[in-house]
């Protein structure tokens, strides 16, 4: 982006006299004073810490201006400040203004699982044909989506936005903020069921992504999901489906897989074999969703084939890495819900290895009253004939430990640790691993299994 402060002030209805700063040029927007670039507008958000307290850090790190909450004490007098009623709302208003100014095609992607992978696949398919920007990392909420929009260049033609939610109303807000041309729902699972109570209510919340969908927009959704099929009749826009049933607009006719890749063919393009450089047949659904978007952009199937074969996934989404002693680690430490955990466990179980299959699983968060049962039910994907060692971390994982030790008799193979004993788990795991082993790491981000990953990758003295 590139905007003078006077234009930003008008866009957010700034309250103070900014005339002496009006020609200051802003080239980016950031809310973390540690991670901004020269020319940034600093947005001081109030959460666990008050962003206003870090205005000095922001200045030192290159900020050229900042929002400031009207009436908040300590306002600088020697630095370009725009006073606003609420810095977060101002950030969102500025993002809306800038989005309308750049006017790219907007693709909004949500779902209980597969959002990030589908976003990456979609951007890979579109990149050779349009100037595309995609959500960076996990910037998928009411803060992250505006930051993504404000940091796109003025020549952006298409923006691919991942949209997360954990409560009703969040997708409604985001959808109305960006007014997508294409909305996509990957699937309905149990993620965040603590706040919804049922999959049906999760489906209602996911459908909020259509609330801002343009009148001539398109909704793409998983047609194998009855909860979505029931709800699409409520919208007037065009709909397209993907899934494994032949009633879908896009569906596979053949799927083959091994430990590192998946190949598949589609009924719609029988002459093309698509290749995914990643584990798990469940990723075929994500690819079909991205291909459905590619079709709307008139991308040729052979071009989509090349893009998917060469794509790069966001870090720590079913990513193979090598440990310090040569072991292969499947890192999926960013997020977890029951559907995704069952799928990746089944795929990991059949990965060929000269050594052992070791799984390290942490709590799946925000499952509410059903958490104990949903954790215990993960046992269905842990076959004692295929999985050699099971390391479990977190208060909810004790339910899986109990199920495994009582119903599958894996007493010696199951190693349970409360979250406070993560260091002990790391010590035991590092001592246990050999070069021939394969290891799966999966948990919700709040469990921080990335610490376990770093320990496995750290050379021992």
Torsion sign across C-alpha atoms 303, 309, 311, 317:
positive
Cα–Cα distances in Å, from 458 out to 224, 325, 436, 455? 43, 9, 17, 5
Q: Is 221 in the same domain as 264?
A: yes
The per-residue pLDDT for range 191-213, each reduced to its tens digit, is 656 566 688 888 999 999 999 99
Binding site as annotated, residues: 111-117
The three-state secondary structure class of 322 is strand
Percent of the chain with pLDDT over 70: 97
In a domain, 97, yes or no: no
In a domain, 94, yes or no: no
Dist. CA 201–CA 354, nearest whole Å: 45
User: Backbone phi, then psi, for 255, in 5-degree steps?
Assistant: -140, 130
Choose the final residue of a domain: 310, 327, 343: 310
Choose the final residue of a domain: 86, 113, 145: 86
Burial 118-129 (b: 16+ CB within 10 A, else e): bbbbbbbbbbeb
CATH, residue 14: 3.40.1390.10
pLDDT value of position 315: 64
Q: Is 228 in the same domain as 333?
A: no
Q: Is 68 in the same domain as 180?
A: no
**Which domain range does residue 433 map to?**
319-457
Dist. CA 328–CA 248, nearest whole Å: 37
Q: Is 299 in the same domain as 362?
A: no
Tell me the pTM. Answer: 0.84
Closest by CA to 403, choosing from 374, 424, 428, is 374
Domain total of the chain = 3
Q: Is 381 in the same domain as 445?
A: yes
Binding site as annotated, residues for ATP: 111-117
Q: Is 116 in the same domain as 255?
A: yes
Percent of the chain with pLDDT over 90: 77
Residue 317's pLDDT band, with cuts at 50, 70 and 90, is: low
Q: Is 267 in the same domain as 338?
A: no
């Amino acid at each position: 982006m590139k905007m003078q402060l006077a234009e930003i002030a008008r866009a957010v209805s700034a309250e103070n006299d900014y005339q002496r700063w009006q020609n200051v040029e802003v080239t980016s927007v950031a809310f973390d004073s540690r991670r901004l670039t020269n020319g940034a507008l600093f947005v001081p958000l109030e959460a666990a810490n008050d962003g206003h307290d870090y205005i000095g850090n922001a200045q030192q790190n290159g900020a050229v201006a900042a929002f400031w909450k009207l009436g908040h004490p300590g306002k600088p007098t020697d630095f370009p400040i725009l006073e606003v009623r609420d810095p977060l709302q101002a950030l969102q208003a500025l993002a809306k203004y800038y989005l309308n100014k750049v006017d790219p095609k907007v693709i909004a992607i949500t779902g209980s699982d597969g959002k990030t992978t589908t976003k990456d696949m979609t951007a890979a398919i579109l990149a050779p044909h349009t100037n595309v920007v995609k959500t960076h990392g996990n910037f998928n909420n009411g803060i992250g989506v505006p930051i993504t929009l404000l940091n796109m260049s003025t020549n952006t033609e298409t923006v691919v936005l991942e949209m997360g939610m954990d409560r009703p109303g969040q997708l409604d807000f985001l959808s109305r903020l960006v007014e997508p041309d294409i909305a996509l729902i990957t699937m309905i699972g149990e993620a965040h069921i603590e706040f919804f109570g049922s999959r049906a209510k999760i489906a209602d919340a996911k459908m909020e992504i259509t609330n801002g969908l343009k009148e001539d927009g398109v909704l793409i959704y998983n047609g194998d999901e009855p909860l979505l099929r029931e709800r699409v009749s409520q919208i007037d826009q065009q709909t397209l489906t993907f899934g494994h049933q032949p009633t879908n607009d896009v569906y596979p006719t053949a799927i083959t897989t091994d430990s590192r890749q998946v190949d598949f063919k589609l009924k719609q393009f029988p002459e093309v074999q698509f290749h995914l450089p990643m584990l798990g047949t469940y990723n075929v659904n994500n690819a079909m969703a991205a291909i459905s978007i590619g079709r709307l952009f008139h991308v040729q199937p052979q071009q989509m084939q090349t893009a998917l074969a060469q794509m790069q996934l966001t870090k720590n989404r079913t990513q193979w890495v090598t440990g310090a002693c040569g072991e292969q680690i499947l890192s999926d430490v960013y997020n977890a819900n029951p559907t995704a955990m069952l799928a990746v466990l089944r795929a990991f179980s059949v990965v060929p290895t000269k050594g052992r299959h070791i799984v390290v699983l942490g709590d799946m968060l925000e499952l509410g009253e059903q958490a104990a049962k949903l954790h215990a039910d993960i046992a269905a994907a842990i076959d004692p004939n295929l999985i050699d060692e099971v390391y479990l971390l977190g208060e909810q994982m004790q339910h899986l430990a109990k199920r495994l030790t009582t119903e599958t008799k894996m007493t010696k193979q199951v190693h349970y640790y409360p979250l406070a004993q993560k260091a002990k788990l790391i010590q035991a795991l590092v001592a246990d691993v050999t070069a021939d082993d394969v290891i799966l790491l999966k948990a919700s981000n709040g469990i921080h299994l990335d610490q376990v990953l770093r320990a496995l990758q750290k050379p021992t003295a």
